[in-house]
Structure formats: C-alpha cells, structure tokens
Structure 1
C-alpha cells in the first residue's frame, strides 16, 4: 500500500495487521482521487472507519490542510499513528479511537465541518443513508463538500440523502463499489 500522488507520492504505508480491516486498493484509491480532485487547495478531511489511514493520508498528500482519522480497532489506531509519524504530519491530524456514531456526535459538538469525507465501513454492516443523515444532522458537511463511500458493489446506495446527491458510482472488480456524493 502506498501514497499514489502529491507530496508523499510513492511513500509506502503500513497496513493494519488484522483480517478485520480491508484496505482500499491502490487502483481504487487512484480512481477515487482522480474523480474528486485530483488535487486540493486546502480543506479539511474526515476519514471515518480509517483503517490504516490511507484515504485521509492521500487527501493530505494531495493538498488537504488537515484530517481527522476515526477507527474503533486498536490495531488500526496504532497503524494510523505509525503512518502519520512516518510522514511527519502529526501537526495536521487528529486521531480518535471510537465508533463512528460517537465520533460524528463529538465532531458536531466541536462545530467541525469537513470538505472531504471518506466512508469506508465494513461492507454491509452500516447504512450509508444513516451515516450521511448523521453527518448532516451534526452539520459536519461543509458547503460544496464531497463524500466518498466505498461499499460492496451489490449494496443499494441512495440517489440522495438530504441535500447530498450521488453524482457517480463506479465498480471495481466483482465486489468493490465507490459512490461519490456532493
């Protein structure tokens, strides 16, 4: 697993040493960022269900100013810390070991908003509609924000959630789907 483009292009990232985490493949990551960027002029990112932190780190590499990483698995949190230390980006990130619902509520209480939100939960275990409704309810979605949902290709993804509209869905291989909302 590596950073595809930007300031950290080609840098290797550590993977979470457990079967509970499914890293986003380099091919999918590259396609996602070509679809939403490919580069950014600042902005804040939220990497929910972060795993190794690969999506948030890619956003930072491509110009996002900061990123909040959230995962509830201890080994994932350790791996995120290793990767951010490896890239010397500690001053641009926050890392939280908690579940998605608590993280969304905590970010709402802090008044945070995000320009790029990456949702990559365990396949078929979370409702993307409910996650996006919670993000909207807590007012975490900045004006003009982009939300990227990685999901099992067989999952039904809504066309819209509140003011968020699905602008694109692509499939990679037999089981990976990516839907982008704005």
Structure 2
C-alpha cells in the first residue's frame, strides 16, 4: 500500500496484519479521491475509523491542511503513528486513541472532509452523522465519504446530507454525501 498522489505520492504505507481492519486498496483510494477532488486547496479532514491512516494521509497529501484520525485498536494506532512519521509533517496530524463516540464528544471544530469506514456500516454511519450534525462538526461545504461492503444500502438522506455520488469497486461501495 502507498500514498497514491500529492506531495507524499508514491511513499509506502504500513498496514495492520490480521482481520481487525480492512485496508482500502490503492485502486479504491485513487477512485475515491478522483470522485471528490482530486486535490484540495485547504481544509480539515476527520477519519473516524482510521485503520492504517492511509485515507487521511492521502487527503493531506492532496492539499488538506490538517487531519484528525480516530482509532481505538492499539496495534492500528502504532501503524498510524509510523505512517504519520513517514510524512515528515507530523504537525498536520492528530491521532485520537479512543473509540469514535468518545472522539465525537471531544471534537469541537467543523470538518470539510469526513471519512467513514466503520466495522458495522449502516447503523453506525447514520448515528455518527447525526451526532456530527448535532455537534456542528460538519462544515457548510462538507464532503462525507463512506466506504462499505457493496451489499450495504445507506439512506438517501442523513442529518441534512444527501447522496451525491455512489459507486461500487469490487466488494466495496463508496457513497459520498453533501449538503
């Protein structure tokens, strides 16, 4: 796995061995950013189920200013820390070592890009977005990217956001919500 494009493009990323996380393939990651960008002029990104951190690192590589990565698994946290170190711009990243619910209770500033790839997709994505809207964590121009199994059917609208784009990539489905 590697950073696909941007200022860190081509740099290798570590992944977590085992079944506790499902790393997004480089092909799907490239497709996601081609759908929503592919580059950004600034902004803040939240990766609520960070895994290896590759999606948030890709977003910063492509122009986001800062990223908050949330991960509760200790082994995944170690991988994220190594991947952040690889960027040589650790000041752009904040790793919150906790579960998503606790993180959402602590966060206070809005995000321009939200990345959601939770283990139990449909119910979790809806609950997370409702809570983010309630806590005013979504900017006016927010893009919310949800990665799920292709069999998962997400609601057309959640928390004042509607589906803008949706595409299947092998066993994965990418759904993008906007206001």
Q: TM-score range by the shorter chain?
A: over 0.9
Residue deviations 1:127-150, cap 9 Å, x none? 321111011111100111100000
> Conserved in 1, the CA contact under 8 Å of 2:122 and 2:154?
no
Give, in whole Å, the separation in 2 of the partners of 1:178 and 1:30: 12
The equivalent residue for 2:147 is 150
Q: After TM superposition, what 4+ stretches of structure 1 lie above 3 angstroms from structure 2?
A: 123-126
Give, in whole Å, the separation in 2 of the partners of 1:148 and 1:131: 12
How far off its partner does 1:171 sit?
0.6
Determine whether 1:181 maps to 2:177: yes
3-state SS, counterpart of residue 127 of structure 1: helix
Give, in whole Å, the separation in 2 of the partners of 1:10 and 1:168: 27
Determine whether 1:163 maps to 2:160: yes
> Conserved in 1, the CA contact under 8 Å of 2:115 and 2:145?
yes
How far off its partner does 1:18 sit?
2.9
The equivalent residue for 1:114 is 111
Give, in whole Å, the separation in 2 of the partners of 1:62 and 1:83: 16
1:23-172 matched pairs, under 5 angstroms: 23-107=23-107, 111-124=108-121, 126-172=123-169
Aligned Cα RMSD in Å? 1.1
Normalization by structure 1: what TM-score? 0.94
Give, in whole Å, the separation in 1 of the partners of 2:71 and 2:123: 14
Structure 1 gap ranges (5+): none
Q: Count residues with an aligned counterpart.
A: 178
3-state SS, counterpart of residue 30 of structure 1: helix
Give, in whole Å, the separation in 2 of the partners of 1:50 and 1:163: 24
> Conserved in 2, the CA contact under 8 Å of 1:44 and 1:66?
yes
